[in-house]
């Protein structure tokens, strides 16, 4: 992140007084971007490519609604002036509210049902990622919020998935895909993010004839099955990598940009640190599919279609190289 921004985007807009609906829609869009308001109708953002495009879109919408718009690139006249602009994007207040909400939620976890925990996690993740997305000049509070958020996710996961694997410290051995064909793979039942994505990865890129066993307990894993995403499994969390990322590294698939970006999304959802905009949507679809499907075979089949689409999107997304971790 550029902490020394010296170029700024200034959008000056004026809407007709009778355009209340359009005014509200544009105001909400400006708020979602985290703009600094210099005065009524004058909005500032740091000069970033994606923000310039967002301002251009709002400028065009303003003019379609019969208003006027000017989009300018401006420079601070001194470092003191640039620092004054940067101070307009201080998110300490937003983080304070978020930290309080997470702290309160943390105290209630043990009294909630799994469905309530999942719903609460989705809401807080959305709130967390909303602040992260507009934190253009992150400071210590950003790091503090990440630590607290990871603690909350781990606490929730320990209730939702008591057999969640613990990361080990070990080198990741490179495997030959040809030695892993037509095998039986096993993981914990009631698939969630890392397990369902890993199963998709195995069948799609590693072992197209893979057979899966969904285990009530890791202790029931047959000796001849390849376990993944549980303690003692052949493929599980290593260091800061989740099982999906370990599979990528093990089979030399990390250079595939679509898979790498999918790995970043799984990482965010499984261990809580990082930011991928698509993560919330995928988690919501997975939660809905898990409520509708009758077993893990059906769930994998349904979510595989979603993962195929996300893989295609990430493979061709010009923002792929900008994934935040």
Q: Please state at what angle helix 257-271 crosses helix 140-160, rounded to 10 degrees.
A: 80
Architecture of the CATH domain 7-87: 2-Layer Sandwich (3.30)
Under 8 Å between Cβ of 310 and 262 = yes
Predicted TM-score (pTM) of the model is: 0.63
Please choose, from the candidates 91, 82, 97, the residue with its C-alpha nearest in 3D space to the C-alpha of residue 7.
82
> Could you state, in chain order, the average pLDDT of each consecutive group of 10 residues for the chain (325 residues)?
72 88 91 94 95 96 94 92 94 96 93 88 91 93 90 82 80 95 95 96 97 93 95 94 97 96 94 82 89 93 97 81 43
Gap between the terminal Cα atoms of the chain: 12
Please choose, from the candidates 63, 57, 76, 71, the residue with its C-alpha nearest in 3D space to the C-alpha of residue 10.
71
Sorted by where each begins, the domain ranges of the chain are 7-87, 92-160, 177-322
Q: What pLDDT does 325 receive? A: 43
Q: Please state at what angle helix 296-316 crosses helix 257-271, rounded to 10 degrees.
A: 120
Q: What pLDDT does 275 receive? A: 80
CA angle at residue 105 from 103 to 108, to 5 degrees? 120
| DSSP-assigned letters across all residues of 71-86 | EEEEE-SSHHHHHHHH
CA distances from 292 to 149, 302, 303 (A): 29, 10, 12
CA distances from 245 to 25, 79, 118, 153, 276 (A): 40, 42, 23, 19, 15
Q: What pLDDT does 319 receive? A: 59
- Cα–Cα distance for residue pair 211/150, rounded to 1 Å: 33
Q: What pLDDT does 154 receive? A: 79
- Cα–Cα distance for residue pair 111/94, rounded to 1 Å: 27
Dump strand ranges (E) for the chain. Answer: 7-14, 36-39, 42-46, 68-75, 184-188, 211-215, 226-227
Token pair listed for 7: 């170029």
Q: What pLDDT does 166 receive? A: 83
- Cα–Cα distance for residue pair 200/289, rounded to 1 Å: 15
Q: What pLDDT does 182 receive? A: 96
Edge-first strand order for the sheet with 36-39 is 36-39, 42-46, 7-14, 68-75
């Amino acid at each position: 992140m550029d902490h020394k921004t010296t170029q700024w985007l200034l959008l000056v807009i004026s809407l007709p007084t009778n355009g209340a609906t359009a005014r509200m829609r544009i105001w909400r869009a400006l708020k979602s971007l985290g703009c600094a308001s210099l005065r009524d109708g004058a909005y500032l953002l740091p000069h970033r490519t994606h923000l310039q495009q967002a301002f251009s879109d709002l400028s065009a919408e303003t003019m379609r609604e019969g208003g006027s718009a000017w989009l300018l690139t401006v420079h601070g006249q001194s470092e003191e002036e640039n620092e004054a602009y940067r101070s307009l994007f201080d998110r300490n207040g937003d983080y304070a509210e978020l930290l309080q909400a997470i702290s309160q939620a943390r105290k209630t976890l043990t009294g909630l049902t799994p469905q309530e925990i999942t719903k609460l996690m989705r809401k807080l993740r959305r709130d967390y990622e909303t602040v992260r997305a507009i934190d253009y000049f992150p400071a210590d509070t950003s790091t503090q919020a990440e630590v607290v958020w990871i603690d909350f996710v781990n606490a929730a996961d320990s209730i939702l998935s008591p057999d969640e694997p613990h990361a080990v410290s070990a080198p990741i051995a490179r495997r030959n895909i040809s030695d892993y064909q037509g095998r039986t793979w096993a993981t914990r039942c009631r698939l969630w993010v890392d397990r369902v994505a890993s199963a998709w990865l195995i069948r799609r890129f590693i072992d197209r004839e893979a057979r899966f066993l969904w285990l009530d307990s890791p202790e029931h894993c047959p000796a001849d099955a390849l376990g993944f995403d549980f303690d003692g499994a052949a493929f599980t969390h290593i260091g800061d990598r989740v099982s999906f990322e370990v599979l990528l590294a093990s089979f030399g698939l990390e250079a595939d940009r679509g898979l790498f970006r999918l790995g970043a999304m799984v990482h965010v959802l499984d261990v809580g640190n990082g930011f991928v905009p698509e993560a919330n949507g995928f988690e919501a679809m997975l939660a809905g599919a898990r409520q509708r499907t009758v077993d893990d075979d059906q769930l994998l089949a349904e979510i595989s279609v979603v993962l195929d689409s996300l893989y295609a999107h990430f493979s061709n997304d010009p923002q792929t190289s900008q994934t935040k971790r």
